Amino acid sequence: MSASTTDTVNTDAANADTEETGTVSGPDFVALQVRDVEAAAQFYETRLGLTRAPAAPPGAVVFTTSPIPFAVREPLPGVDLDSGDRPGNGVALWLRCDDAQALHDSLAEAGVEILRPPAPSPFGLTFAIADPDGYAVTFHDAG
């Protein structure tokens, strides 16, 4: 069987699987499981300027971020936020902001742990912090 025939067969099989199981369009909601929902919500609200949504499920605070809603919530059963070096290790959470340098300076002045100082990137100026629960959060101002 030639490469083009093999590719066609593999593509046809993948399409058949997708038709049976449905397709995924992309991220639709992001939530961090935190130790203290109100403390985390206060951080994201007062330090980062996020606005709380008018409604949220029990044990969570949802913010009116766009295009994807963001929330902090109580840990699900069996989740131990202290079991690794950092909660969410291996996950990259990036948030867009208007002015990365100004936000960095404000957070540094407030004593927030800076994990990576501001640096230029294809996504504008970027820097990373540790939030109150230790999650690494990267901010960028273009892209």
User: Can you give the CATH number for the domain in which 49 is found?
Assistant: 3.10.180.10
Mean pLDDT of 100-107: 97
Q: What percentage of residues in the chain have a pLDDT greater than 70? A: 86
Is 69 a member of any domain? yes
Is 32 a member of any domain? yes
Do 33 and 67 have their domain in common? Answer: yes
Q: Which of 15, 63, 66 has its CA nearest to residue 41?
A: 63
Q: Is the pLDDT of residue 89 over 60?
A: yes
Expressed as residue numbers, the domain containing 105 is 87-142
Alpha-carbon span 142 to 119, nearest angstrom: 12
pLDDT for the residue 85: 85
The total number of structural domains in the chain stands at 2
pLDDT for the residue 86: 87
Which of 1-5, 12-16, 69-73 shows the lowest mean pLDDT across its residues?
1-5
Lateral strand order in the sheet of 93-96: 93-96, 136-140, 124-130, 114-121
Give the model confidence (pLDDT) of 27-64 as tens digits.
999 999 999 999 999 999 999 999 999 999 999 999 99
Assess contact for 104 and 59: CB atoms under 8 A.
no
The total of other beta-carbon atoms located within 10 Å of residue 37's CB is: 19
